[in-house]
Chains A and B, each alone.
Chain A
Amino acid sequence: MKLFKNILDSVKPHFEAGGKLEKYYPVYDGFATFLFTPGHTAHSGAHVRDAIDLKRTMVTVIFAMIPALLFGMWNAGNLHYSALGLAESMTFMDKFLWGAIKVVPMLIVSYGVGLGVEFIFCIIKGHQIQEGFLVSGMLIPLIMPIDLPLWMLAISVIFAVVIGKEVFGGTGMNILNPALTARAFAFFAYPTYMSGDKVWINTSTDAGQSVVDGFSGATVLGDYATGGEVQYSTMDMFLGFIPGSIGETSTLMVLVGAAILLYTGIGSWKIMFSGVIGALAMGLIFNTFAEYAISPEQQAFMAVPAWQQLIMGGFAFGIVFMATDPVSAAQTERGKWIYGFLVGFFAIAIRVFNPAYPEGIMLAILFMNVMAPLIDHYVVQANINKRKKRLATVKAA
């Protein structure tokens, strides 16, 4: 740390007012505060300052995502070698390294491009660099398919940061979750690389290798949507040995992350809990009315036990890491219950009813992001009305 401190101190004069790199002060400030707690204190009045500021919050969320990330790397390798019929002969490290070689460039592109855009905007506007992108930059690769070309990832990141965040005023001002904005952009712009049964497992072959007979790269949800036979057991789905976006397959790893978020108090338990309730409610409604389905495929999908809907697809990942985004979620405590419930409710509804979108959690969260201010408005109004009424009864008495 001494080394960093020395470097920062030696370059500092260039960035301060009057220095030749004055314009780039936000960049210096961003690095300096990333490494060290700022030394300046409040100048007037009494301010209560929590030790946990935005940076520590973000870093905690990143820690919570690391289990899913590491598992995602291994899973990508495992699925790749399974498709080639080599899963038995490869060691754990082989699989992990194969996945890491695919995933790490995505992480680098996501962070490099996203932070680059943020830095440019901070320099133009003369703002302090905010750390909002630290989490988004990690989330974005985790919710993309393994084979997505890097330039598509880069364009999605640029779109998410510029249109999803900077136009609204940067970190803390965005209406939509930036990571999901990136995914939605990629999903609609390059649908053939974001959905279907070809993109979730890498089947590139070296000399002498070939894809096994009867191989299918469809996800569990894809199988249900098209009426195909689901080839994975419930345990596979829970542990995550299934095709899907890089980080979202393992419900177990997501639960580890959820535990970290809840223990540190960073993720809202109300949103997660009510989200699960909402999904179960929709699942039970479907179970009850499965016989009225319009097609046999849909009937099979509607008859899936409600609890099993929770461990398929990206539901768990979305509800833990993205629905709880403190900026785009509802702000009021009662609003969080409504918001979470409806996210879960709509996620399962979109998933089952619309075969064009086999997974509904992305659109459900984005939709509820837009609705969150409305929910908050009515929650606040209801509270005002309640207190007005109470005041009236007090006055009358």
Chain B
Amino acid sequence: MAEVQEVKKEREALFSKKNRKLISDPLNDSNPITVQVLGICSALAITVKLYPALVMSLSVLFVLGVGNVVISLMRNLIPNRIRIIVQLVVVASLVILVDQVLKAFVYDVSKELSVFVGLIITNCIIMGRFEAFALGNTPWKSFLDGLGNAFGYAWILLAVAFFRELLGSGQLFGFQIIPEAWYMSNGGFYSNNGLMLLPPMALITVGIIIWVQRSRNTELIEEN
């Protein structure tokens, strides 16, 4: 009897400190984009406006959250040699699902995101979490880890898109923020920054976020 009780004590609470870290760490100190530098291509491509960036973030959230659970459930069944193929099948099925839903309900955004929805399959963050986490952890932990990483991805995407849409088109979520009367064509002094609409500026914006993050937390700076 005593032994059984001890085993029961080891069961973790659903949101123990350790589990909470699974969500909070990827938001900052092990952020998939700014620290691990994964998933950069989609961060550059679809951050011109906030709305597509939000849809993209939600898609990745779904794929990563569900995918992590699925892989974690199968982790003891998958033969080690073909694990990458199994992971690909899982992620591809989920992405097709997302793609169909987007086409059915938000066709405009789906067209705007074009290949990048399909390219979630090759998004390094997802395969990375499958390999590094879901294959060795329980479904609940994997689910939290998936959510954490997807949120980490999402906030960088939205932060970059916020600056790019505001400075590049003067809008947020398609609403005009900068008064029309300010524009030079209407006799004002202001002009949108065309460079913000080009991918290089997304790279520089991500770079600035990395810069700020590293000067706040100097442990992230590699020695060389």
Residues of A within 8 A of B (CB): 149, 151-152, 155, 163, 167, 185, 188-193
Contact = CB atoms under 8 A, between A and B. Distances in A.
Given A163-B204, A167-B211, A189 B195 contact: yes
A163 B196 CA distance: 14
Given A163-B204, A167-B211, A189 B194 contact: yes
22 contacts: A149-B189, A149-B191, A151-B189, A152-B191, A155-B193, A163-B204, A167-B207, A167-B211, A185-B195, A188-B194, A188-B195, A188-B198, A189-B193, A189-B194, A189-B195, A189-B196, A190-B191, A190-B193, A190-B194, A191-B194, A192-B191, A193-B191
Tell me which of B189, B193, B204, B207 has the highest count of chain A C-beta atoms within 10 A of its own C-beta: B193
A185 B167 CA distance: 14
B44 to A, nearest CB: 16
Contacts of B189: 149, 151
Tell me which of A151, A163, A185, A188 has the highest count of chain B C-beta atoms within 10 A of its own C-beta: A188
Contacts of B204: 163
A149 B184 CA distance: 11
Main secondary structure of the interface of A (DSSP, over half): helix
A155 B194 CA distance: 13
Contacts of B207: 167
Nearest to A166: B211
Contacts of B193: 155, 189-190
Interface string B148-165: 000000000000000000
Contacts, number: 22
Contacts of A192: 191
A151 B207 CA distance: 24
A345 to B, nearest CB: 24
A122 to B, nearest CB: 16
A192 B195 CA distance: 12
Contacts of A167: 207, 211
A190 B204 CA distance: 17
Main secondary structure of the interface of B (DSSP, over half): helix
Contacts of A185: 195
B46 to A, nearest CB: 20
A114 to B, nearest CB: 19
Nearest to B195: A189
A152 B195 CA distance: 13
Contacts of B198: 188
B65 to A, nearest CB: 35
Nearest to A190: B191
Interface string B193-214: 1111010000010010001000
| Top-7 shortest CB links A-B | A189-B195, A188-B195, A189-B193, A189-B194, A190-B191, A191-B194, A163-B204
B191 to A, nearest CB: 6
Contacts of B195: 185, 188-189
Contacts of A155: 193
Nearest to B168: A189
A149 B207 CA distance: 28
A161 to B, nearest CB: 14
A163 B194 CA distance: 17
Contacts of A152: 191
A188 B193 CA distance: 8
A81 B195 CA distance: 34
Interface string B58-75: 000000000000000000
Interface string B25-59: 00000000000000000000000000000000000
Nearest to A193: B191
Contacts of B211: 167
A188 B204 CA distance: 14
A32 B207 CA distance: 35
A40 to B, nearest CB: 31
Nearest to A149: B189
Nearest to B196: A189
Nearest to B185: A192
A149 B211 CA distance: 30
A155 B193 CA distance: 10
Interface in B206-224: 207, 211
Given A167-B211, A188-B194, A188-B198, 12 more contacts: A149-B189, A155-B193, A167-B207, A185-B195, A188-B195, A189-B193, A189-B195, A189-B196, A190-B191, A190-B193, A191-B194, A192-B191
Contacts of A193: 191
A323 B75 CA distance: 59
Nearest to B193: A189
B30 to A, nearest CB: 23
A163 B191 CA distance: 21
Nearest to B167: A189
A193 B189 CA distance: 12
A190 B198 CA distance: 12
Nearest to A151: B189
Nearest to A187: B195
Interface string B87-120: 0000000000000000000000000000000000
A64 to B, nearest CB: 31
Contacts of A188: 194-195, 198
A375 to B, nearest CB: 23
Nearest to A192: B191
Tell me which of A151, A163, A189, A190 has the highest count of chain B C-beta atoms within 10 A of its own C-beta: A189
B195 to A, nearest CB: 4
A71 to B, nearest CB: 29
